[in-house]
Amino acid sequence: MTAGTFRVRSLEGGTVTAVEACSGRSFARHAHEEFGIGLVTAGAQRSWSGRGQVEAIAGDLITVNPAEVHDGAAIGAARSWSMLYLSEALVGAMVGDMEEGGRRSRELHAPVVKDARLARLFVSTRSAALHPEETAAFDERLVLLLAGLLGTATRTGSSLPGGLARARASIDDAPAEPHALGELAAVAGLSRYQTVRGFARLTGLTPHAYVVQRRLAVARRLIREGTTLTAAALDAGFNDQSHMHRVFTARLGYTPGAYAAAHAAISSKKERGRAR
């Protein structure tokens, strides 16, 4: 792949999203709704999350948990990576199978994993995901991959003190609303300064950045459901489609159009299957 290239595909009935990328872009802090497991295939990158700041080089696995705020920047001109984003429902079902009466954490314990065996297993898992006829192989390999990556760490920053929790809940309940800082501070019972500092310290995002992140999640859901890009942008609270486009590329690398095309392909396959 050449620098600045992103390819996104929706797989396994929409429960898996595969992204292949080569870019020198620095990504703004953001979060995903899914678990993310990937492999750096060339170059190196530096990233921050609630689990600390790390560096990853070619051959390293990289992971992210749902709602985990993180960023990413190339070390050097560019880096290439391959990701699988897995729905919480899919991972939950897999972990349930692994529990066998015990309790296993549903959090990926390390942001960077240096393990050649698991890296090879990721490659074979991704290969199976890309071929619909290999669903059984994908299930088997994913179980083994998750078993190797899931740890027992406790998620940090998952709860906020009362006032800030109320402010976050007001955003979660209506992300498309304006959410002026003064209003959020009033809900939190804090000064504007305390609200910004406290929210950023505990979530990794300022209140405004959190609003944008929640709008991004809404837009992605609407696009998956077949909503037009223009309507998805407005319904999610963006000023217009161009605004949504900028947020997508700044945080995810790929465009809303590419995301829509990936999920439209899945819908088309489902329709053809029903017609047979």
User: What element of type H or E holds 97?
Assistant: helix 88-99
Does the pLDDT value for residue 3 go beyond 90? no
159 or 259: which carries more pLDDT confidence? 259
Round to whole Å and give the CA distance between 73 and 69.
14
Here the contacts of 245-249 (C-beta below 8 Å, separation 24 or greater) are 247/212, 247/215, 247/216, 248/216, 248/219
Q: How is 8-61 classified by DSSP, letter by letter?
A: EEEEGGGTEEEEEEEE-PPEEEE--SSEEEEEEEESEEEEEETTEEEEEETT-E
Residue ranges covered by each domain of the chain: 5-149, 162-263
Taking Cα atoms as reference points, which of 228, 224, 193, 92 lies closest to residue 150?
A: 92
- pLDDT tens column, 95-143: 887 775 555 567 888 999 999 999 999 999 999 999 887 887 898 899 8
CA angle 139, 144, 146 (to 5 degrees): 95
The pLDDT assigned to 69 comes to: 95
Query: HSE (CB half, 13 Å, CA atoms) of 143?
Result: 12
- pLDDT tens column, 69-94: 999 999 999 999 999 999 999 998 88
pLDDT band at 249 (very low <50, low <70, confident <90, very high): very high
Q: Is 174 helix (H, G, I), strand (E, B) or coil?
A: coil
The pLDDT assigned to 157 comes to: 41
Class (C level, CATH) for 162-263: mainly alpha
> CB atoms < 10 A from the CB of 238, how many?
23
- pLDDT tens column, 156-204: 444 678 899 999 999 999 999 999 998 999 999 998 888 988 998 888 9
With contact defined as beta carbons under 8 Å apart, do 151 and 160 qualify?
A: no
Calculate the CA dihedral of residues 133, 139, 144, 145 and round it to 10 degrees.
80
Class (C level, CATH) for 5-149: mainly beta
Round to whole Å and give the CA distance between 228 and 62.
32
